[in-house]
Amino acid sequence: MKKYIFLITCLIFSFSFSFSQKKELRNANKKFNTGDVDGAYEIINSNKELLENSDSKVFNNYVLLLAKILRSKESFEESYQKLKLIQSAKNLAEEVSAELQLLSSDIVNSAISDNQQESYTDASKKLYLAYTIDKNAEDYLYYAASSSVNAGDWETALKFYLELKELNYEGIITKYYVTKIDTGEKLEVDEVQYELFKKLPKEYDQFIKEDTESKFPEIVKNIALIYNQLGMKDDAMRAVSEARKTNPEDVNLILVEANLYIDLDEMDKFKELMIEAIRLKPNDHILFFNLGVVNADQGNTEDARKYYEKAIEINPSYESAYLNLVALILEEEPEIVDKMNSLGTSRADNAKYDVLKNKREDLYRECVPILKKLIALNKDEEAIRTLMNIYGTLGDNQGFMEMKKMID
């Protein structure tokens, strides 16, 4: 009889214990659902031993709630580890999946905030965690690598870029554009809007759908550049060479290799590769501009001028080419001025002075139409001041006053 009474007592105690677990869990859930995260966390912590020794159903719900609380407190890694514990719980499959999506979203939003505040290391860790949660979200790995670069953490960035390379990640997205008929304004829209606006032909036209360029060449480039940054030049060159074997006419990869030769101070090889790139993209003004820069640095003035002028011919709005062309023309001026200042007052020296003065003024006159075109594109103050000074030296008072008014 005593044994029978004892068993009943155990059953009552067990029922009471289970009821207490569920009650505390319900109270914690209620607190959490009404926005009292700290209150929910306090209940959970106060009853931790009770809940951790509960049956599997109560335990799984407890872990799920704890994961939600940790997410709300931005303890993202801990939250993820809790969710991993119950991923196989069939009765919570949908809830766990939904919570993982919320966790991933919160992590990414927090990483965006970190990047905005220049907390790049934290951003990188969070983005990599988001990628760990969903291995299909390869974009997060790409942005984790970018954040590591911004943080100057070359080793981590290299690790992420190498993983992206193994995945053959390209990051291509489709962009959608429409034009408003009444204003002529070109708008970037999402796919749903794009399809909707196509049904409004009186309001929108010029429907354009285009893919962005592959990020793979950029990834290979960054691998090479990081190797180079770490002093591993052979690895850098090997990375580019390997990529070019499968993409021999990829201009971006050619440019990566060319940039490596800049770092190695092998400018002739750089020029050779740039010419190869131009053969493949003959209408790329940037390529001609870069060749102009290299030739100018090497003292090849005539070639540099030719390339700058070609860049302007291809893209008449490319301001940098105008600026560099003017700088190239005026490079001769300091030497002329030094010679003028070194002359004496004899008749012969005065004659030499006049020749040099005319030569200097010829340089200025050569710059005038170039600067006028540049100012017409963009009222660049440096260009305006330069042209104003040239007009002043040439004795063109009208031109001088026109430039002065633009500054005042």
- Cα dihedral angle (334, 381, 374, 333), rounded to 10 degrees? 0
pLDDT of 18 reads 53
Residues of the chain with pLDDT under 50: 1-17, 19
Please give the backbone phi and psi of residue 208, each rounded to the nearest 5 degrees, phi first. Answer: -120, 135
pLDDT in tens, 190-226: 999 988 988 888 888 889 998 888 898 889 888 988 9
Residue 283, burial from CB neighbour count under 10 angstroms (0-12, 13-18, 19+): exposed
Distance CA 67, CA 90 (A): 17
- pLDDT 10s digits, 65-121: 999 999 999 999 999 999 999 988 888 999 999 999 999 999 999 999 999 999 999
Tokens for 217?
A: 């060449």
Q: Give the containing element (helix H, strand E) for 176.
A: strand 174-180
Give the separation between CA 393 and CA 368, rounded to whole angstroms.
12
Start-to-end C-alpha separation, the chain: 109
How many CA atoms, within 13 angstroms, populate the side-chain half-sphere of residue 181? 8
Give SS3 for 180: strand
C-alpha distances in angstroms, 218 versus 167, 230, 393? 14, 18, 48
Element (H, E) at 398: helix 397-407
Q: What pLDDT is recorded for position 9?
A: 43
- CA dihedral (10, 14, 19, 24) in degrees, to 10, reads 120
Q: How far apart are CA 313 and CA 328, in angstroms?
A: 17
Give me the DSSP letters along 61-77: HHHHHHHHHHHHTT-HH
**For 36-137, where are the alpha helices, taking DSSP H only?**
37-46, 48-52, 56-72, 76-85, 93-116, 120-133
Grouping H, G, I as helix, E, B as strand and the rest as coil, residue 259 is helix
- Residue in the structure block whose two tokens are 């960054």: 222
Separation CA 400–CA 185 (nearest Å):
39
Lay out the sheet containing 204-211: strands in order across: 186-189, 174-180, 204-211
Q: 272 with 294: CB under 8 angstroms?
A: no
Q: In the structure encoding, which two tokens stand for residue 368, read together?
A: 């005038």
Sign of CA dihedral 246, 251, 257, 260: negative
Query: Maximum CA pair distance of the chain?
Result: 139
